[in-house]
Amino acid sequence: MKALDGVRILDMTHVQSGPTCTQLLAWFGADVIKVERPGVGDATRGQLRDIPDVDSLYFTMLNHNKRSITVNTKSETGRAIFTRLIESCDVLAENFAPGALDRMGFSWERIQEINPRIIYASVKGFGPGPYEDCKVYENVAQCTGGGASTTGFDDGPPTVTGAQIGDSGTGLHLALGIVTALFQREKSGRGQRVVCAMQDGVLNLCRVKLRDQQRLAHGPLKEYPQYPNGTFGDATPRSGNASGGGQPGWIVKCKGWEEDPNAYIYIITQAAAFAGLARAIGHEDWLEDPEWNTPEARLPKLETVFDEIEKWTMTKTKFEVMEILNPLNVPCGPVLSMKELSQEPSLRGTGTVVEVDHPTRGKYLTVGNPIKLSDSPADVVRSPLLGEHTDEVLASVLGMSAEEIEAAKAAKAV
């Protein structure tokens, strides 16, 4: 048995944010029926293709464990089928541009009329306000949610991150909203509207930067690299690779950095483990010296501290550094490339990196469910071909006869 066995999701999501959400719910056992436009499907099927005429990795890696049905929800017969699907599902999830579902004739009021128990969940770019009608993609959300203004180096431009905090991050928020609404429905018997704006999701992940904005009014941010030798403006600045608080950290070069762009390691000079770190890098002299032996004394000289650490790390590979510092309780992490992550045996062992077989693509790697439930293990099943389950869903979920299905096909509704 899976945690969400018996939950049926009408999945109108596309691109990345919504599909991230419904893929997670599918891994937890929900029956996710992805509704796509006949002949076209989710636009990402054809985007960033590495193999001609084969569903892209963009699509396959975000749509595991789902069934695909094609329905033209703008045709009369298609709308009738969609209405019956709303009747038969627990959740309707979508992330179209604002108003798209209303334009199809399915407002929240209408959806509730059809099925008062349904949870109607959406990702939008912005919440109500001046930008609510805007279309939004990942980097727009990173910029408008506070991610870009606080990422990068002080003397460089705002920078977006590789982690898809706008799309996948908001999809995660939406998944939590959906299961929470399902939980409440157990008691209330009613469905509800769940909306996550990407700007809000990114800002939620940048919570500590809004903390720092308010701290600024009371003096400089002492854990930022701008302290004490640089200047602060009136907004939370970009803090490079600083880790913050009483536990300063930085990325330092390791052996081979001249050729390998990822021969780096992150090291945190946590006060409790500083003595071990100082000894390891050959700076026992710091331990008795009041100029160096307290976090307060080191704070204005962090650049020198990390320069000295780097002189040592440059003589070792990032993995050798990790092996030496870990037993000393010095928190550190090698900068791992996607190549290294894809080959990491422990990630394969836990199912976080999985190899999947696909009928037209062949074998490919994907990221499996990162959330491990002891009673609800997640198997990764390949993504569906466009409309692969149309007949199956129409017959088994809606009880349509073979003749009715043929008529819907003839009307180009499915």
Interface positions with ligand COA (CB under 6 A)? 15-18, 35-37, 43, 71-74, 95-97, 100, 103-104, 123-125, 135-137, 167
Min dist CB 101 to ligand COA, Å, is: 7
Residues 6+ apart with CB under 8 A from 309: 250, 252, 267, 269, 277, 281
**Residue closer to ligand COA, measured from CB, 104 or 242:** 104
Min dist CB 183 to ligand COA, Å, is: 24
Min dist CB 35 to ligand COA, Å, is: 5
Whole-angstrom distance, CA of residue 164 vs CA of residue 140 = 11
What DSSP element (H or E) covers 267?
strand 264-268
In sequence order, which ranges of 115-240 are alpha helices (DSSP H)? 138-144, 167-188, 198-205, 207-215
Whole-angstrom distance, CA of residue 406 vs CA of residue 414 = 9
What DSSP element (H or E) covers 36?
strand 31-36
Min dist CB 37 to ligand COA, Å, is: 4
Task: Report which of 78, 145, 73, 84 is spatially closest to residue 118, judged by C-alpha positions.
Answer: 84
**Residue closer to ligand COA, measured from CB, 97 or 338:** 97
Task: Report which of 189, 175, 65 is spatially closest to residue 118, judged by C-alpha positions.
Answer: 189
Length of the chain: 414
Are residues 147 and 160 in contact, defined by beta-carbon separation less than 8 angstroms?
yes
Only one residue has tokens 């627990």, namely 90
Task: Report which of 93, 14, 23 is spatially closest to residue 61, judged by C-alpha positions.
Answer: 23
**Residue closer to ligand COA, measured from CB, 73 or 226:** 73
Residue 167 a catalytic site member: yes
Min dist CB 215 to ligand COA, Å, is: 32
**Residue closer to ligand COA, measured from CB, 119 or 277:** 119
**Residue closer to ligand COA, measured from CB, 93 or 302:** 93
Are residues 166 and 13 in contact, defined by beta-carbon separation less than 8 angstroms?
no
Min dist CB 171 to ligand COA, Å, is: 8
**Residue closer to ligand COA, measured from CB, 18 or 249:** 18
The catalytic position among 167, 212, 234, 260 is 167
**Residue closer to ligand COA, measured from CB, 3 or 104:** 104
Q: What strand order describes the sheet that includes 264-268?
A: 249-253, 264-268, 332-334
- Pairing mode, if any, of strands 362-367 and 353-358? antiparallel
What DSSP element (H or E) covers 325?
helix 318-325
Min dist CB 144 to ligand COA, Å, is: 12
**Residue closer to ligand COA, measured from CB, 71 or 148:** 71
Q: How far is CA 85 from CA 92, 199, 395, in A?
A: 9, 31, 12
Residue 341 has, within 13 A of its CA and on its CB side, a CA count of 12
Are residues 72 and 413 in contact, defined by beta-carbon separation less than 8 angstroms?
yes
* Token pair for 126: 């912005």
Min dist CB 278 to ligand COA, Å, is: 47
Only one residue has tokens 């990630």, namely 347
Whole-angstrom distance, CA of residue 12 vs CA of residue 10 = 6
The residues carrying an active-site annotation are: 167
